[in-house]
């Protein structure tokens, strides 16, 4: 074989090998009845590479795991499936059930009651969970705001007759109703590294993308701004106004003409700079909320008099026996219904699935009469999965939180024309508006490449104060080509801003 042929052959095989190795493996994980298994861990060696999505689908690029020889797919209640890396291809993988009756498994010399199990969970909590960790996190949030009710009513204006006001009210209500007849949806995705030492965290964002129509957001602030800007078109554009809502002054000298002629701010590109501090605070809350401790949301572990419990049986996970425990409210102060999976070995919690029981709600505020404001957290559905580290202790593996809040706002706006001289009339224009909206948020976080924090890791991590957010009009899978993330659902793949 001459030199040129050898070179061509080498280049061909090198290129082919590179393409083959970089290929992303996609598949689906189901049970024997072909039901998708959401949030199953796709582990490469001892690392969590990714997690299946709500539809049981996954995609993983193995080029970052060159030295690893095995892939393991695991989920509580199922037998783990171990596959050699060179046999791991894009296809459907079926997990078999693995649940036993209590009597079939030798647990200890004494069978424990549920309350005794939970007492040991409490006693061992401090020792069972790692507080000092580092790794990577991929997080995806899907938000949806639906306006249930909206009404605007101009009550008084010196510039218009009652007949004209009636027409203006009709036009504005029709315009807002048309704008808000469909729910406003948005998505964000982010990948970042972190260090956690006790209660402190540091983060560095590698990539952050947003698909959001910022001009038509449905936050309370944006809706109030919209009401104000739409109505000012009917005021005297040559004058300034004091704007009040209830007893509070919003603006002392609103220049209506300047507001109307102001052109929307144009972006030079599709990037926006954000501060890291807010993301740090959010991550610290995630860790605090999902740590097994008395002041967490997990009152069903610590306030056992409030709940009914049932020991369903025992399963296996990562080679050890797991208690499966159901819980539901016993007293009116209990909020949650769900299931938890507890190790028989050291009583660490592997997984918790919990949500609001029927008729229950979370935080709420009702100041309708005083301030015209009310809200209530009326939806909560969460899954928290932990994994056992090389130290034998547990760390977060996956968190899913679905939260819904109902918001009520009933306010008045007064536009009081500023007088140029004492002889001018003190013209007042008053309008009232009311809206009720449902704000729904679904967040998923997968903790990848988690490792124990070494002595100087936290101090040595240089945290950037800011990061860039890339704004998109539709989902672009190529952005995440070099990352292992949660595979997007069909709905997200098809989502596009109007």
How far is residue 319's CA from residue 306's CA, in Å, rounded to a whole number?
Answer: 33
Contacts of 188 (CB under 8 A, 6+ apart): 139, 140, 141, 208, 209, 210, 211, 212
| Cα–Cα nearest to 26, from 44, 1, 52, 7 | 52
At 469, the pLDDT band (50, 70, 90 cuts) reads: very high
| Three-class secondary structure assignment of 387-441 | EECCCCCEEEEEEEEEEEEEEEEEEEEEEEECCCCCCCCCCEEEEEEEEEEEEEE
Of the chain, the percentage scoring pLDDT greater than 70 comes to 87
For the cut 50, the answer to whether the pLDDT of residue 8 exceeds it is no
Measured over all CA atoms, what is the biggest interatomic distance in the chain, rounded to whole angstroms? 104
How far is residue 287's CA from residue 196's CA, in Å, rounded to a whole number?
Answer: 9
Q: Do residues 279 and 259 make contact, with C-beta atoms less than 8 angstroms apart?
A: no
DSSP 301: H
| Cα–Cα nearest to 391, from 128, 134, 197, 199 | 128
Angle at which helices 220-231 and 162-179 pack, to 10 degrees?
A: 140
Q: Do residues 113 and 156 make contact, with C-beta atoms less than 8 angstroms apart?
A: no
Q: Do residues 130 and 394 make contact, with C-beta atoms less than 8 angstroms apart?
A: yes
| Cα–Cα nearest to 212, from 284, 143, 126 | 143
| Cα–Cα nearest to 137, from 349, 24, 284, 289 | 284
How big is the chain, counted in residues? 498
Of the chain, the percentage scoring pLDDT greater than 90 comes to 46
For the cut 70, the answer to whether the pLDDT of residue 12 exceeds it is no
| Cα–Cα nearest to 28, from 16, 39, 20, 36 | 36
For the cut 50, the answer to whether the pLDDT of residue 357 exceeds it is yes
| Cα–Cα nearest to 208, from 142, 278, 267, 138 | 138
pLDDT tens by residue, 293-331: 887 889 999 999 999 999 998 888 877 899 999 999 999
Q: Do residues 51 and 395 make contact, with C-beta atoms less than 8 angstroms apart?
A: no
pLDDT for 100 equals 60
pLDDT tens by residue, 15-61: 333 333 446 888 999 999 999 999 998 888 777 788 899 999 998 88
Contacts of 186 (CB under 8 A, 6+ apart): 142, 143, 144, 210, 211, 212, 213, 217
Distances (CA, A) of 264 to 46, 214, 267, 497: 51, 12, 10, 18
Listing DSSP states for 101-166 in one string gives -GGGS---SSPPPHHHHHHHHHHHHHHHB-SEEEEEEEEEEEEEEEEEEEEEEEEE-TTS-HHHHH
Q: Which two tokens stand for residue 289?
A: 């909320």
Domains annotated for the chain, with CATH where assigned, are 3-97 (2.60.40.1120), 132-292+348-493 (no CATH)
pLDDT tens by residue, 180-222: 878 888 999 999 999 999 889 999 999 999 998 766 677 777 7
How far is residue 157's CA from residue 365's CA, in Å, rounded to a whole number?
Answer: 33
pLDDT tens by residue, 250-279: 666 666 554 444 444 444 568 889 999 999
Contacts of 382 (CB under 8 A, 6+ apart): 297, 352, 353, 354, 355, 399, 400, 401, 402
Q: With residue 300 as reference, give the H or E element that holds it.
A: helix 299-302
Q: Which residue has the tokens 């193995």?
A: 62
Q: Are strands 373-388 and 364-367 parallel, antiparallel or unpaired?
A: antiparallel
How far is residue 117's CA from residue 107's CA, in Å, rounded to a whole number?
Answer: 12
DSSP 298: -
Q: Do residues 327 and 339 make contact, with C-beta atoms less than 8 angstroms apart?
A: yes
The least confident of 88-92, 142-146, 157-161, 288-292 is 157-161
DSSP 368: T
């Amino acid at each position: 074989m001459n030199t040129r042929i050898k070179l061509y052959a080498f280049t061909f095989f090198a290129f082919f090998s590179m393409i083959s190795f970089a290929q992303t493996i996609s598949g689906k994980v189901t049970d024997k009845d072909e039901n998708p298994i959401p949030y199953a861990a796709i582990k490469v060696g001892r690392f969590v590479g990714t997690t299946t999505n709500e539809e049981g689908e996954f995609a993983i690029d193995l080029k970052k795991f060159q030295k690893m020889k095995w892939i393991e797919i695991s989920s509580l209640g199922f037998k783990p499936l171990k596959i050699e890396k060179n046999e791991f291809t894009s296809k459907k993988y079926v997990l078999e059930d693995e649940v036993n009756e209590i009597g079939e498994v030798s647990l200890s010399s004494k069978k424990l009651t549920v309350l005794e199990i939970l007492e040991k969970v409490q006693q061992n909590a401090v020792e069972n969970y790692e507080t000092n960790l580092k790794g990577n996190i991929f997080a995806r949030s899907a938000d949806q705001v639906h306006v249930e009710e909206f009404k605007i009513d101009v009550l008084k204006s010196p510039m218009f007759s009652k007949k004209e006001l009636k027409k203006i009210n009709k036009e504005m209500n029709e315009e807002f109703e048309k704008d808000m007849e469909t729910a406003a949806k948005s998505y964000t995705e982010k990948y970042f590294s972190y260090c956690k030492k006790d209660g402190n965290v540091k983060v560095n964002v590698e990539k952050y993308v947003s698909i959001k129509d910022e001009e038509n957001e449905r936050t309370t602030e944006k809706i109030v701004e919209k009401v104000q800007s739409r109505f000012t078109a009917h005021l005297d554009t040559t004058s300034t106004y004091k704007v009040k809502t209830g007893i509070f002054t919003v603006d002392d000298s609103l220049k209506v003409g300047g507001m109307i002629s102001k052109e929307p701010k144009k972006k030079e590109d599709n990037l926006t700079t954000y501060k890291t501090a807010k993301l740090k605070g959010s991550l610290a809350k995630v860790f605090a909320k999902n740590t097994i401790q008395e002041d967490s949301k997990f009152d069903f572990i610590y306030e056992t008099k409030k709940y009914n419990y049932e020991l369903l049986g025992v399963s296996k996970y990562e080679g050890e026996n797991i208690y499966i425990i159901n819980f539901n409210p016993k007293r009116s102060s209990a909020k949650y219904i769900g299931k938890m999976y507890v190790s028989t070995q050291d009583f660490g919690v592997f997984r918790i699935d919990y949500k609001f029981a029927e008729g229950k709600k979370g935080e709420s505020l009702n100041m309708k009469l005083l301030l015209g404001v009310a809200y209530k957290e009326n939806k909560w559905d969460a899954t928290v999965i932990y994994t056992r580290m090389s130290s034998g202790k547990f760390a977060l593996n996956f968190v899913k939180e679905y939260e819904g809040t109902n918001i009520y706002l009933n306010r008045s706006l007064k536009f009081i024309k500023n007088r140029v001289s004492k002889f001018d009339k003190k013209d007042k224009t008053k309008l009232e508006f009311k809206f009720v909206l449902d704000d729904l948020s679904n967040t998923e976080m997968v903790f990848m490449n988690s490792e124990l924090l070494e002595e100087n890791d936290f101090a040595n991590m240089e945290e950037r104060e800011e990061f860039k957010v890339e704004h998109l009009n539709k989902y672009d899978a190529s952005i995440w080509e070099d990352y292992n993330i949660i595979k997007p659902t069909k709905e997200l793949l098809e989502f596009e801003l109007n």
